[in-house]
Structure 1
Amino acid sequence: MLSNLPELDVPRDEYTQGKGVPKKRRHLTIPDHSELEVVRHFKGLGRANFSIDDTMYPLGSCTMKYNPKISEEVAGNSVFKNTHPYSEAGEELHARIVHGLQDFLVSLTGLPGVSLTPAAGAQGELSGVLIIREYQRQRGSSRQVMLIPDSAHGTNPASVAMAGLVPKTIKTGPEGRLRLADVLEVLDESVAGIMVTNPNTLGIFEHELPAIAEAVHEIGGLVYGDGANFNAIAGIIRPGDLGVDIMHINLHKTFGTPHGGGGPGAGPLCVTRELAPFLPGPVAVSQTVSHKSTVTELGNDSNDGREGSRQSFRFVMPERSVGRVRTFYGNFGITLRAYVYILVHGLNGIRRNSIQAVLNANYLRKRLQPTLSPAFGDECMHEFVCPNPLVTQGVHTIDIAKRMLDYGIHAPTVYFPLIVKEALMIEPTESESLAQLDALGEVLEKIVKEGLENAETLKRAPHNLPLGRLDELLANKKPVYRHRLGG
């Protein structure tokens, strides 16, 4: 098999020349620790960390829902682990799973073109903006402007800039929503499209989106849907029916795959039929093939001679694809977990999850209203944003967040969205019970009371963790990558 490999196109090192261990590696010291010491070390690090398996994790706009163990079990099955994606059997197997998830996402979004190759939501987003750029170019248009609400995720303007387009900000209205009138003021022949998160990062549904989408389409633009908050509407309403042309989905937010501390990830991209040829590839397709049916008896295959047909699955590159954005067929392990998640829940179960997520957020919002008054509106979708009520006490939002760690609950998202000063963004997800919601409410009420009575308690938090407040600037400038065992 090695004889089939191409010639090296880099200089040969001492290994390839058969000289054993290179000189520069001969004097490295290898740690000498027992297995028990190593196990205890990493178990200790794990206990010092916060995870959804251990405690509530109300990180707004991140949807830190429970990751079902059945998805992990299936993904760890040897059938998937030991099959190379580029083998004949591997391609068929991977394509079958990918095609299945593509079909589910078509049903949930109302957008018939799907690519699962983007390795993160941000990469799916960038791919979507590249499609908008290419679509406009092939129409002979030099449009450069992408309209972006001021409540958007930071990746929105970043993706636009990386694609060589120009972001232009639209201010949020007094009710926490985009207003059609504000969009109409900036629509002209320079606009390539608009990016809208729905529900938005304030946890509010953009009910004027259909009218906004129609106006953007009338001037030749496209509508990009940031699917970061899809968990609030999945199974209830299809973004494609609202006028969305392109949308990425964060599988770790909506379909219970691991967040993983920056990876692994997957950001499938869903588009209209007209835009499907531009998708990053490869994408899975199916076709009906004829074959002679086989009867299996007592472990012996015999051909009964009858003609039949079956579905065959394979990968293809879309005709006018913007190109590959990842190796192989995307992050297959995450794709598989999301596929299992949907199979177990069913589409009706996905709908129930969304309803429960909205119900949980509204319950908690209502309970906390006397203590943490939301920045906008009387109701929310899956999350809500509150300004810090302790600013007059000299207490910052980060102080509240650090104090929550003392009570064994991970902090919500802080200082985002930027249009709410000293913001706390809270998202309980559908995973939490009523008892857990009440426990979180009690902790936040207690912390606000502490801040009013003795602000120093919050300013010096956390008090009960192995480490207190770290010098984050120094940690970025001079990171320590080595940790001594038992140190």
Structure 2
Amino acid sequence: MTRSIELGTTDEFVARHIGPREDDIAHMLERLGYDSLDALSASVIPESIKGTSVLDLPAGLGEAEALAAIKAIAARNQQFTSHIGQGYYPCHTPSPILRNLLENPAWYTAYTPYQPEISQGRLEALLNFQTLISDLSGLPVANASLLDEATAAAEAMTFCKRLAKNKASNAFFASRHCHPQTLAVLRTRAEPLGIEVVVGDENALDDAARYFGALLQYPTSEGEIGDYRALIEGFHAAGALVAVAADLLALTLLTPPGELYADVALGSAQRFGVPLGFGGPHAAYFATRDSFKRDMPGRLVGLSIDRHGKPALRLAMQTREQHIRREKATSNICTAQVLLANIASMYAVYHGPQGLTRIARRMHRLTAILAEGLAALGLPAEQRHFFDTLTLASGARTATLHQRARAQRINLREIDDTRLGLSLDETTTQAQVEALWALFADAGQALPDFASLAARASDRLPAELQRQSAFLTHPVFNRYHSETELMRYLRRLADKDLALDRSMIPLGSCTMKLNAASEMIPITWSDFGNLHPFAPAEQSQGYRQLTDELEAMLCACTGYDAVSLQPNAGSQGEYAGLLAIRAYHHSRGDAARDICLIPASAHGTNPATASMAGMRVVVTACDARGNVDIDDLRAKAEEHKERLAALMITYPSTHGVFEEGIREICAIVHDNGGQVYIDGANMNAMVGLCAPGKFGGDVSHLNLHKTFCIPHGGGGPGVGPIGVKSHLAPFLPGHAAMERQDGAVCAAPFGSASILPITWMYIRMMGGAGLKRASQLAILNANYIARRLEEHYPVLYTGGNGLVAHECILDLRPLKDSSGISVDDVAKRLIDFGFHAPTMSFPVAGTLMIEPTESESRAELDRFIDAMIRIREEIRAVEQGELDKQDNPLKNAPHTAAELVGDWHHPYSREQAVYPVASLLEGKYWPPVGRVDNVYGDRNLVCACPPIEAYQDA
């Protein structure tokens, strides 16, 4: 007799992704008084929105099956040799950086370094990036990256508008020689603000007084190198500021923008070791003069000291978060591309100034040899001076040449019907140069001899613009050139930090969940990494299948009818969503609708985004339970009925509860002519349980780096696609490379395309049932923490059944009154227990917002809970006089190993300081610095690598 066996997948991913085991789930449910997850979620989800979930997805695949499926999709992409250029270039990612940084969870699972004591490693890497940018650009202050070159240019435009002396002007000049995708994003960003973007030829400009600012490209998009000094002086004389978009690698050989008198330098660091990736993610850079540093967009890493006087890094000044300024923010860009900036910084560390110069000079020499050979074939380049890019007047042969090139698996740049472009790069070989000559030669025409041309071809850099100033002289760029040294340097930096590979990161509103290895594997495949974003559509069929399927999956998760994957950050998704609403109103003749209602509890990026979209912010009140005050909302919606454009609301609320009145809120806005934007930051509580597109939302952005498992990367990358109802679908972001060509919000048509496989893998492996279970477990874990801690710390807000959503807020304000212990003290003390702090003082000052996610096990939840209870006992000891009010473990936290082995003058023991619970004996994280002094750093701003003597003196 034979026995049948049950056949299924070889593994089940859902159980790998979700932390608690079945016994744990039963225990936690019993603690909450429920007998099933369905019963718990039924008590949390308001009656008015139950049954709105439309999650129609197939069963989840096993990890091996999903990897095989996405491998087949990737194989549909065609990898041609790319000479398209236009701001995107093939390059080599050094293997030790690939293995020890990009593929290392110690780097990619870290959160933004808002807690500097546990972020010194990635902060040092970012300081290296800022130094790299400052040195190469010739400007003293550089930020820690922006989203891409085009959005950096848009930030430069509004930066010039704020700071230029020519206050009467509302016109911005942009050279027609800038990259086309940059000009497109400039137009998108300018229109809602009433800025006129004038695109013209700077060589024919005679009316500089008309403009408040200007953008120039160096070298130009077509390859020409010009001397901008006289032009920039003319703009300055007229009271305008000038931004120069510069090729970072070219600046190793060319006079930097700062020495040309530019006020801003910007561009992309992509060719410093970051794959093409069909357009992203790539780190942009932005540098400016010292006098403008407090108006610079983005984040700035600065040097300060800790409480022992030791040098310590932290995010400086206003850059800790633009959202503090709300509608008065200079930008809504609160995200950066940290992981990519760190790759670029380590590329510079590994190669050093000599290595970078050697790469750039080789590239230029090959281009000069290529140009000599093309001239011999009767196709001289249009440029007299160039770095790595040529433009050819190919005339009537243009279309034929493109066809011939593609037949040989080569892509050239399509400039227009009679001209084409060629860009070389770090990966270009002699054989590829010879292949290009063969491509352009007529039948029977003799090909140039590479060796003879190499012997006599001269450099084509203008003599007056060859770089004379030194760069990257700091020791960090001149030491780690062997793989052994770089490997150890990367390990040393990673060991300074806390990331998800060490412990739970319980940040409310930030959803720090598992980024599974199987999700991450495809992003380093060449089939995804080596594709140029402007390659012909027939070569990107794998990406097209991936994006089509992912858009459908996200529609199923949200209840919306269409999705755009273009926005490459949550903040940019917000912006794209409001632009869609704005365009919809304009299409109906309602251009006067410019009022955006925003609850007082909203994410700070919301009001900043509304201002950027040309809307006026009207704040609505919240009630004592943290819910939107519906009466106040109704009154303000009716008051502004003729001008109401939108409501921006986060759901579940920023206070961590499902508001009962969400349907009524949406109806009020719709009845008064507005549209409802539902911020998707908290989608991790809703997938499979309720759908914003079905209970009143017109548009939502989704944080793929939160709910859908793309890792935060230490503060970027992110993806912030928007889902819309059908009436808004015609107003989704467009792009020159897409069917609808206007309205681009970032440089590449699919934004950060190369990390989309992460979310595709997550959804396919989880399946519909798995995604619902993840939401239920996120809710269970949050309520378990709230229930266990409520007798120690008040839970500030709960829903109607005394339950929270996927996060909870603990109120520490009474403890400050009774003990003098602040929320900062508790956050820093958690470091001694090996934890990243929860979100501090948001949305309510003096509170901690905790979000455990579904990926954390009950054991890890209990470890965190035990730490919080032990901290409450220490606070009680302060209250009762058993611990000194000033010299206690909380006020002095975190404690370093150096302090432990030095002279000990505290009234509490070393053991209590660093081993407050027994579990730490098995594995202790040691913070590299004590509590960082932010005030000292802001008063003594240093934002590039300091001389080594600074550390020695300290």
Alignment TM class, shorter chain as reference: 0.7 to 0.9
Partner of 2:719: 266
> Is the radius of gyration larger for structure 1 or structure 2?
2
Q: d(CA) in 2 for partners of 1:195 and 1:213?
A: 10
- Is 1:281–2:728 an aligned residue pair? no
Partner of 1:469: 931
The counterpart of 2:468, out of the listed 11, 23, 35, is 23
How many Å apart are 1:363 and its aligned residue? 0.5
The counterpart of 1:222, out of the listed 666, 675, 679, is 675
Q: d(CA) in 1 for partners of 2:937 and 2:759?
A: 35
The counterpart of 1:326, out of the listed 727, 732, 747, is 747
Q: d(CA) in 1 for partners of 2:732 and 2:610?
A: 17
Partner amino acid for 2:832?
D
Partner of 2:558: 109
Cα pair 2:562 2:724 within 8 Å, conserved: yes
- Is 1:364–2:788 an aligned residue pair? no
- Is 1:381–2:805 an aligned residue pair? yes
- Higher strand content, 1 or 2: 1
Q: Which runs of 5+ in 2 are unaligned?
A: 1-81, 87-220, 228-253, 256-363, 365-386, 388-458, 878-882, 897-926
Cα pair 1:258 1:264 within 8 Å, conserved: yes
How many Å apart are 1:26 and its aligned residue? 8.7
- Is 1:460–2:896 an aligned residue pair? no
Partner amino acid for 2:226?
P
257-266 vs 405-414, which deviates more? 257-266
Partner of 1:390: 815
Partner of 1:296: none
* Aligned-partner SS, 1:124: helix
The counterpart of 2:589, out of the listed 117, 137, 140, is 140
How many Å apart are 1:436 and its aligned residue? 0.9
How many Å apart are 1:221 and its aligned residue? 0.5
Cα pair 1:278 1:318 within 8 Å, conserved: no
Partner of 2:696: 243
Given the superposition, is the C-alpha separation of residues 449 and 108 from structure 1 closer, same or farther in structure 2, using an over 3 Å criterion? Answer: same
Partner amino acid for 2:478?
P
Given the superposition, is the C-alpha separation of residues 105 and 2 from structure 1 closer, same or farther in structure 2, using an over 3 Å criterion? Answer: closer
Root-mean-square deviation (CA, aligned residues, Å) is 2.5
* Aligned-partner SS, 1:242: coil
Q: d(CA) in 1 for partners of 2:811 and 2:727?
A: 43
The counterpart of 1:83, out of the listed 527, 531, 539, is 531
Given the superposition, is the C-alpha separation of residues 438 and 224 from structure 1 closer, same or farther in structure 2, using an over 3 Å criterion? Answer: same
79-88 vs 192-201, which deviates more? 79-88
The counterpart of 1:403, out of the listed 822, 829, 839, is 829
Cα pair 2:621 2:633 within 8 Å, conserved: no
Given the superposition, is the C-alpha separation of residues 318 and 87 from structure 1 closer, same or farther in structure 2, using an over 3 Å criterion? Answer: closer
How many Å apart are 1:426 and its aligned residue? 0.5
Q: d(CA) in 1 for partners of 2:710 and 2:770?
A: 16
- Is 1:207–2:660 an aligned residue pair? yes
Partner of 1:294: none
- Is 1:440–2:440 an aligned residue pair? no
Partner of 1:120: 569
* Aligned-partner SS, 1:425: strand
Cα pair 1:280 1:325 within 8 Å, conserved: no
How many Å apart are 1:214 and its aligned residue? 1.4
Q: How many residues align?
A: 453
Given the superposition, is the C-alpha separation of residues 479 and 27 from structure 1 closer, same or farther in structure 2, using an over 3 Å criterion? Answer: closer
* Aligned-partner SS, 2:876: helix
Given the superposition, is the C-alpha separation of residues 473 and 334 from structure 1 closer, same or farther in structure 2, using an over 3 Å criterion? Answer: farther
TM-score (norm 2): 0.45
How many Å apart are 1:170 and its aligned residue? 1.2
Matches within 5 A, 1:167-206: 167-187=617-637, 188-206=641-659
Q: d(CA) in 1 for partners of 2:222 and 2:808?
A: 58
How many Å apart are 1:361 and its aligned residue? 0.2
How many Å apart are 1:480 and its aligned residue? 4.5
Q: d(CA) in 2 for partners of 1:60 and 1:2?
A: 45
* Aligned-partner SS, 2:750: coil
* Aligned-partner SS, 1:459: coil
* Aligned-partner SS, 1:147: strand
- Higher helix content, 1 or 2: 2
Q: Which runs of 5+ in 1 are unaligned?
A: 284-314
How many Å apart are 1:137 and its aligned residue? 2.1
Matches within 5 A, 1:349-360: 349-360=770-781
Q: d(CA) in 2 for partners of 1:211 and 1:267?
A: 27
How many Å apart are 1:2 and its aligned residue? 6.1
Given the superposition, is the C-alpha separation of residues 323 and 18 from structure 1 closer, same or farther in structure 2, using an over 3 Å criterion? Answer: closer
Partner amino acid for 1:8?
G
Partner of 2:944: 481
Q: d(CA) in 2 for partners of 1:261 and 1:4?
A: 29
Cα pair 2:734 2:749 within 8 Å, conserved: no
Q: Deviations over 1:53-91 (max 9, x none)?
A: 111100110001011111111111222122333334543
- Is 1:73–2:521 an aligned residue pair? yes
Cα pair 1:56 1:409 within 8 Å, conserved: yes
Q: d(CA) in 1 for partners of 2:781 and 2:491?
A: 33
How many Å apart are 1:119 and its aligned residue? 0.8
Partner amino acid for 2:664?
A
- Is 1:49–2:501 an aligned residue pair? no
Cα pair 1:117 1:329 within 8 Å, conserved: yes
469-478 vs 120-129, which deviates more? 469-478
Q: d(CA) in 2 for partners of 1:52 and 1:316?
A: 37
Partner of 2:234: none
96-105 vs 33-42, which deviates more? 33-42
Q: d(CA) in 1 for partners of 2:722 and 2:668?
A: 23
* Aligned-partner SS, 1:251: coil
Given the superposition, is the C-alpha separation of residues 474 and 39 from structure 1 closer, same or farther in structure 2, using an over 3 Å criterion? Answer: farther
Cα pair 2:576 2:745 within 8 Å, conserved: no
How many Å apart are 1:144 and its aligned residue? 1.8
Cα pair 2:564 2:732 within 8 Å, conserved: yes
How many Å apart are 1:175 and its aligned residue? 2.4
Q: Deviations over 1:129-162 (max 9, x none)?
A: 1222222222222022111111110001010111
Q: d(CA) in 2 for partners of 1:97 and 1:104?
A: 10
Cα pair 2:651 2:678 within 8 Å, conserved: yes
Partner amino acid for 1:330?
G
Cα pair 2:738 2:749 within 8 Å, conserved: no
Q: d(CA) in 2 for partners of 1:376 and 1:441?
A: 19
215-224 vs 38-47, which deviates more? 38-47
Given the superposition, is the C-alpha separation of residues 27 and 441 from structure 1 closer, same or farther in structure 2, using an over 3 Å criterion? Answer: closer
How many Å apart are 1:375 and its aligned residue? 0.9
Given the superposition, is the C-alpha separation of residues 174 and 229 from structure 1 closer, same or farther in structure 2, using an over 3 Å criterion? Answer: same
How many Å apart are 1:479 and its aligned residue? 3.1
Given the superposition, is the C-alpha separation of residues 379 and 31 from structure 1 closer, same or farther in structure 2, using an over 3 Å criterion? Answer: same
Q: d(CA) in 2 for partners of 1:191 and 1:328?
A: 31
Q: d(CA) in 2 for partners of 1:334 and 1:460?
A: 41
Cα pair 1:173 1:179 within 8 Å, conserved: yes
